[in-house]
Every structure is written in C-alpha cells, then in structure tokens.
Amino acid sequence: MKHVLIIDESGSFKEYLKLKLEENNIQASIGINSMDGMTKMKNLAPDLIIMDDNLSRQGFMEVLKEKKAGPNTAAIPVVMMTQRLDQRQLIKMAPYNIKKVLTKPVKIDALFAALTDLLGVNFTIDESPGIVEVHVNDNIIFIEIAQGFNRDKMDLLRFKIAELIRIYEIRLPKVIVMMSDINLNYADGPNLEKFIGIILKSTRAKYRHIRILTRDLFTRQFIEGKQEFRDIEVVSNLQYAIDGLLTEAGKNRGSTDSNADLIGDKILSADNAEESEALDLKFHTESGRAAMDLIRESMKNLRIAVIDDDPIILELIKNTYRGTGAAIRTFSNGGEYMAVVDTEEFDLAFLDLMMPGIGGFDVLKTLQTRNIKYPIIVLSAVTGRDVIIKAYQMGVKSFLIKPIKPEDIFKKSIEILKTSY
C-alpha cells in the first residue's frame, strides 16, 4: 500500500486530503507542523510528501534539508503548495526532489493529477460545476453555494465549518445558506439532502437557527416536505433571515443589519454569480486558542498593505500585528499605493473604500485589470448595500465595518490568509 505524509498546519485541507487518499486505498499520515513532519518522515519513510510552505517553528526549508540529509528519506518525492512562487524560491527548492509546485489557492484537479502521476493511482474526483464558500460575519455562518452540488467541495465544507466555529468561538451557531444560480429538480434530491446533512452535522445548529435563502422552488418544496427538516425556514429575503436569527439571540440589530445591506439581493441573482474553476476549493483555517501562537508565528513572513486615509486605522492595524513579525506597509491614500502596486508584492491588503482622490474602487479596478489577486479585506464606514455589492462584484468577499477592533482584524485576517484551497 502506498503511503503519503501530509505536512500542513491547516485543519480543513489536510483532513479532507487524508479522507480522499484513504478512499483510494492509500495510507495517509499527518504532520501537524514542521517538527512533527520531520519525525514522521524519518520514522515512516513515506512514498510521497505533500507539504505546505507556510509552516511555523522551523519552517518548510528545514524539513527539506532534514529530508535530504537522511539516507532513507532523500529520494522521497515532494509536492509543495505555496502562496507565492518566484524564481528565487524555485532555485532554493531545486536540490530537494520537488516534483510539483502548486500555487494557492490549490486547484484540486491539478493536485490529484500530480498525485496520479507520482503514485500511479487513478483518483476519482467530482468535476461537476459548483461554487461553495463560507464566511463568518457577526457570528453568523454564511454558506454560499452556486451553480450546483460538487460532492468534493461538500466533503471539504464540513472541515471548514468546524474550523471557523473554533476560530470565532461560536457557542450557538446560526447559519444562513445562500443559494444562487441554482435550479434543482427531483434528481438533485440526494445531493441536497447530503448538503443539508453536512451543515447540520458540522455546525450542530438547532434547526430553527438555520435559514435557507433561495428562489428555487424545488428546494423549498423539498425542505418543507421533509418532516425532519420542518424547523428549517426557507426564505427569499436576506434581511428577514438575519432579523429572525438575531431576534432569537436577543441581540440588537445594529451591526448585522449592515451585513444584510452589504450582501443584498446579489446572493440570489444568477447574473452576478461568479465564475470559478470547477475544483478551485478555497477553504481552510487554523483555529482555536491553542493554535493562536502557531498562527502568529506563521505570519512572520507576511507582507501586508494597509490603504486608508485615517491615521488612526493605520496605527490600529499596525498595532494588531505587532509582535507577529509581519511586514506592514501603510499608505495614506490610493495614489501612494498605486505608485508601488507593480513593483511590490503583498500577501494581504486592507483597503478603505472611501478615500479622496484615488479611492478604493479605483484601486480594486486596477487590481482587477492587472490580474493581481492577493486577498483584499475591505474597510468601510459606509453600510449602504450598493457600495458593498459593487465590491463583491469586483472580487472582494470579506469586509470589516468601521469602527473595528483589533480582535476583529486578527480573526478576519486569519480566516482569509488561511483560505488557501
């Protein structure tokens, strides 16, 4: 039996990958960090190593050096997953039997094609259309699904949900499922039931704390016709869904009213559904208080841009990352940032939408035109629906509404930076 060692600190992806390997009769072991990975590499001598380059503590290069130094491990082939790929990094990795380098977000079809070549095992993956994304805003879990049900993405979804619950320390999960550009029929019943089952099992939310936002008639009839789903409400208005959840929680409406306005009717519109690679899975987050020190360490090499005309916000974000080793570059307006956008690379950017002169939307348009795709977290004091819908249509998925707190900045950046699959 073939044996694969996965060295990755992301809970969701490594567990998903382990599941897929074992489904194909391949033994899979997990190294939870670089030190654990080196120990298992020497003790198990696997046939293949799959490794993320974003490892804390000793880092991925130490693992590669240890592998090369061992007579029983030097020849083990490696598949590397990296946030950024440059010539210097390729040169550094050349002596270590790296067979494939995949940039994140990793396309699962490309990964399994590489594994097929290296292991001689044919993997079966679901290539049907389907976009699945998960975000947390104001402790409500927003699950977006569009185009159809992709079973591989649904399998990965359950790991992602569990991690986000730990990151945000959600004690009483509330879920809004947003279904867009999707028209189901009787043949889709088993997949729909599996999808709802994954949500129920992963969130452990009470049925009355789940809303399904859709205009699809079959979905409504299916949910309402299932006795066990009778307390799940199917709605067609996001504001109504959020208000209902917050009323039960006894919260005032303030911040999450903004979320409804921000996302708006775009969710149900087929015209606004984003196109995506069929197997471009963008999930994973290291989570929980016990993991926070590791996460801080993993940020030490990150390059973060902050573009805002408010000096208080610039200082707040700088202070949030102080002690992590992340390199923070601040820009007091869009023009300053645009002057370096072609010459400097970043892993993450915080962007104020409303700035004088070259504003946030001008910046987003330029990034889109030049195909610059590092994650953007929008900062805005404006909660109007049209403003954030426009940002969504320009590729931005994550937002923080001012005033913001350091813990909100940190949790959101963890969620986004670890969203690599």
45 shares a domain with 22: yes
Structure tokens of 20? 């897929």
Quick check: is 399 in a domain? yes
Residues 2 and 27: beta-carbon distance below 8 Å: yes
What's the confidence (pLDDT) of residue 256? 41
268 shares a domain with 136: yes
Inter-helix orientation angle 217-225/189-203, to 10°: 60
Which range has the top average pLDDT, 93-107, 215-229, 269-283?
A: 215-229
Least confident of 84-88, 161-165, 319-323, 334-338: 84-88
243-292 pLDDT, tens per residue? 778 776 554 444 444 444 444 444 454 444 333 333 333 333 333 343 44
Quick check: is 394 in a domain? yes
Quick check: is 106 in a domain? yes
CA 386, CA 359: separation in Å to the nearest integer? 16
Quick check: is 294 in a domain? yes
Last residue of a domain, which of 119, 147, 175?
A: 119
237 shares a domain with 141: yes
295 shares a domain with 264: no
Structure tokens of 374? 């590092």
What's the confidence (pLDDT) of residue 271? 44
Last residue of a domain, which of 62, 87, 119?
A: 119
What's the confidence (pLDDT) of residue 312? 93
pLDDT higher for 237 or 348?
A: 348
Measured at the CA of 13, the angle between CA 8 and CA 18, to 5 degrees, comes to 85
* Average pLDDT rounded to a whole number, residues 362-382: 85
CA 232, CA 174: separation in Å to the nearest integer? 11
Quick check: is 406 in a domain? yes
Measured at the CA of 255, the angle between CA 252 and CA 257, to 5 degrees, comes to 80
397 shares a domain with 295: yes
State the total domains in the chain.
3
257 shares a domain with 368: no
138 shares a domain with 101: no
What's the confidence (pLDDT) of residue 282? 36
pLDDT higher for 82 or 7?
A: 7
What's the confidence (pLDDT) of residue 181? 81
One DSSP character per residue, 213-240 reads E---HHHHHHHHH-GGGTTSEEES-HHH
**Is the pLDDT reported for residue 125 higher than 50?**
yes
Determine the structural domain holding residue 37 and report its residue range.
3-119
Last residue of a domain, which of 119, 145, 166?
A: 119
CA dihedral 106, 111, 112, 114 (to 10 degrees): 170
Quick check: is 126 in a domain? no
* Average pLDDT rounded to a whole number, residues 294-315: 81
pTM metric for this prediction: 0.70
Average pLDDT value for the chain: 81
CA 91, 94, 95, 96 torsion: positive or negative? positive
Least confident of 242-251, 316-325, 390-399: 242-251
Can you tell me whether residue 386 is helix, strand or coil? helix
245 shares a domain with 194: yes
Q: What's at 20, amino acid-wise?
A: K
* Average pLDDT rounded to a whole number, residues 95-103: 92
pLDDT band for position 41 (cuts 50, 70, 90): very high
204 shares a domain with 73: no
**Is the pLDDT reported for residue 394 higher than 80?**
no
CA 115, CA 111: separation in Å to the nearest integer? 6
Structure tokens of 397? 């998925």
338 shares a domain with 397: yes
CATH number of the CATH domain containing 200:
3.30.750.24
67-77 pLDDT, tens per residue? 999 999 999 99
CA 274, CA 189: separation in Å to the nearest integer? 24
What's the confidence (pLDDT) of residue 127? 83
pLDDT higher for 8 or 137?
A: 8
**Is the pLDDT reported for residue 335 higher than 80?**
yes
Quick check: is 281 in a domain? no
137 shares a domain with 262: yes
**Is the pLDDT reported for residue 303 higher than 80?**
yes
pLDDT band for position 329 (cuts 50, 70, 90): very high
CATH number of the CATH domain containing 374:
3.40.50.2300
Quick check: is 279 in a domain? no
Number of helices followed by number of strands (H, E) in the chain: 16, 15
Nearest Cα to Cα of residue 104 among 273, 278, 283, 275: 283
* Average pLDDT rounded to a whole number, residues 168-174: 89
- How crowded is residue 312: how many other Cβ atoms within 10 Å of its Cβ? 10
* Average pLDDT rounded to a whole number, residues 106-122: 89
CA 210, CA 173: separation in Å to the nearest integer? 9
145 shares a domain with 112: no
Please list, residue by residue across 173-208, b when 16 or more beta carbons sit within 10 angstroms of its beta carbon and e when fewer do.
Answer: bbbbbbbbbbebeeebeebbeebbebbbebbebeee
* Average pLDDT rounded to a whole number, residues 407-420: 73
